[in-house]
Amino acid sequence: RTMSTAARQSLRIGLIPADGIGKEVIPAAKAAILALGSDIPKPQFIDLSAGWETFTRTGVALPQETVDILRQDCDCALFGSVSSPSRKVVGYSSPIVALRKELDLYANIRPVVSVAPVVGEKPSVDLIVVRENTECLYVKQEVQTVGEHGKEARATRLITQRASQRIGQMAFELANSRPRKLLTIIHKSNVLSITDGLFRETVRSVPTLPEANGKYDQVTISEQLVDSAVYRLFREPEVFDVMVAPNLYGDILSDAAAALVGSLGLIPSINAGDSFVMGEPVHGSAPDIEGKGIANPIASIRSAALMLRHLGYTKGADRLDTAVDQVIREGKVLTPDLKGTSTTNEVLEAVLRIL
Ligand code: GGG
């Protein structure tokens, strides 16, 4: 990653707005990236399609062309949001789940950080949810049969040592890079002792791997059952630093954590693998506000910052985060999810003025 960072003349960014408000917030992130000027290599944007709307138009939710272009012609990507239906639709499969698999983006890193009222003060919430991104119930192996008592539905929940180990390594790296160096493993192995037991035990053993070679000695490891983790998150969020969880728990926990900082519209993420990174706001396609021009662009702008930071462009990433922090701190230009009356464009304009 750092090797190519130094040599890059341009930064090729795939844009996949997908559905709903993704179409409104990804262009805002693009405009914010463009405002960084020479702090990053010259960005080149490549528009790509995926999503429910793409499916209804073409019969395919994730066109092979999108995957091929991301693999061959892009250094990174930004994904918006997808409107997967809640019922089974023949031939449809979630494009974001498929993309994470196709590009082996095995870690979904979701920082949840509040903005302190005064510059330089410690934020009251400052944690990162590290979500395993390739397995758990998201392997989507479901069957329905008919038994003695009527319909029966079953889902396979796959947890492997390989996936648990690499997400564990990513989480230890992150914890080690932070001042508090605290890693909490989230599981439910008092009930799911085989699947969550394997996750817990594999993550716990990361510091004993030969390649760890003592580098995680400063990391404090704790663990928490997922249900009590949600309770503690609301009662005393300050106890958490880095939380690592299997796919579904990580998804739920990060939405819950978003409530602590005011809105899901603020929370960014990256889907990271060993050779590619894709920024993605944690929020969904929000059909209730789609087309009204009031979606919060901050999660997407912060996702762009996270993506740039992951690629080594710290200065550009810092500028985006500082501008967003200032807009939130001033509290004058905010979208309705934050009790404001401003539009997506007005928030973007406020960020651009600072940039
Ligand atoms: N940006 C997150 C997002 O689009 N969330 C909606 C979502 O995950 N829907 C379910 C799916 O398509 O997998």
Q: What is the predicted pLDDT for the residue at 2? A: 43
Q: Which helix (H) or strand (E) holds 325?
A: helix 314-330
Q: How far is the CA of 121 from the centre of ligand 1 (A)?
A: 34
pLDDT of 169 higher than 80: yes
Nearest CA to ligand 1 atom 10: 84
Q: What is the predicted pLDDT for the residue at 254? A: 92
Instruction: Tell me the C-alpha distance between 280 and 282, whole Å.
Output: 6
- Please state, as a whole number, how many other Cβ atoms lie within 10 Å of the Cβ of residue 91: 8
The CATH architecture of the domain made up of 1-108+267-355 is 3-Layer(aba) Sandwich (3.40)
Q: How far is the CA of 15 from the centre of ligand 1 (A)?
A: 16
Q: How far is the CA of 97 from the centre of ligand 1 (A)?
A: 8
Summarize pLDDT for 224-280 with one digit per residue, the tens.
Answer: 999 999 999 999 999 999 999 999 999 999 999 999 999 999 999 999 999 999 999
> CA 168 → CA 56, 65, 162, distances in Å?
38, 32, 10
Q: How far is the CA of 93 from the centre of ligand 1 (A)?
A: 11
Q: How far is the CA of 51 from the centre of ligand 1 (A)?
A: 10
Q: Which two tokens stand for residue 165?
A: 């180990």
Res. 3 pLDDT band, cuts 50 70 90: very low
Q: Is 353 helix (H, G, I), strand (E, B) or coil?
A: helix
Q: Which two tokens stand for residue 152?
A: 């029966």
Classify residue 77 by its DSSP letter: E
The answer to ipTM > 0.90 is yes
Q: What is the predicted pLDDT for the residue at 5? A: 60
Q: How far is the CA of 214 from the centre of ligand 1 (A)?
A: 38
Q: Is 187 helix (H, G, I), strand (E, B) or coil?
A: strand
In ligand 1, the atom with minimum distance to the C-alpha of 95 is 12
Q: Is 215 helix (H, G, I), strand (E, B) or coil?
A: coil
Summarize pLDDT for 137-149 with one digit per residue, the tens.
Answer: 999 999 999 999 9
Site to probe by mutation for ligand 1, drawn from 23, 62, 96 as the one with most ligand atoms within 8 Å of Cβ, is 96
Ligand 1 site, residue 96, Cβ cutoff 6 A:
yes
126-260 has which CATH code?
A: 3.40.718.10
Asked, colleague to colleague, whether 1-108+267-355 and 126-260 share their fold, the answer is yes
In ligand 1, the atom with minimum distance to the C-alpha of 285 is 4
Site to probe by mutation for ligand 1, drawn from 251, 285, 290, 307 as the one with most ligand atoms within 8 Å of Cβ, is 285
Rounded mean pLDDT of 155-167?
98
Domain boundaries, the chain: 1-108+267-355, 126-260
DSSP readout, 214-230?
TTTTTPEEEEEEHHHHH
Q: What is the predicted pLDDT for the residue at 9? A: 85
Nearest CA to ligand 1 atom 6: 284
Summarize pLDDT for 72-99 with one digit per residue, the tens.
Answer: 999 999 999 999 999 999 999 999 999 9
Q: How far is the CA of 254 from the centre of ligand 1 (A)?
A: 13
Q: How far is the CA of 342 from the centre of ligand 1 (A)?
A: 25
Ligand 1 site, residue 280, Cβ cutoff 6 A:
yes
In ligand 1, the atom with minimum distance to the C-alpha of 84 is 12
Task: Provide the whole-model pTM.
Answer: 0.94
Q: Is 131 helix (H, G, I), strand (E, B) or coil?
A: strand
Ligand 1 site, residue 94, Cβ cutoff 6 A:
yes
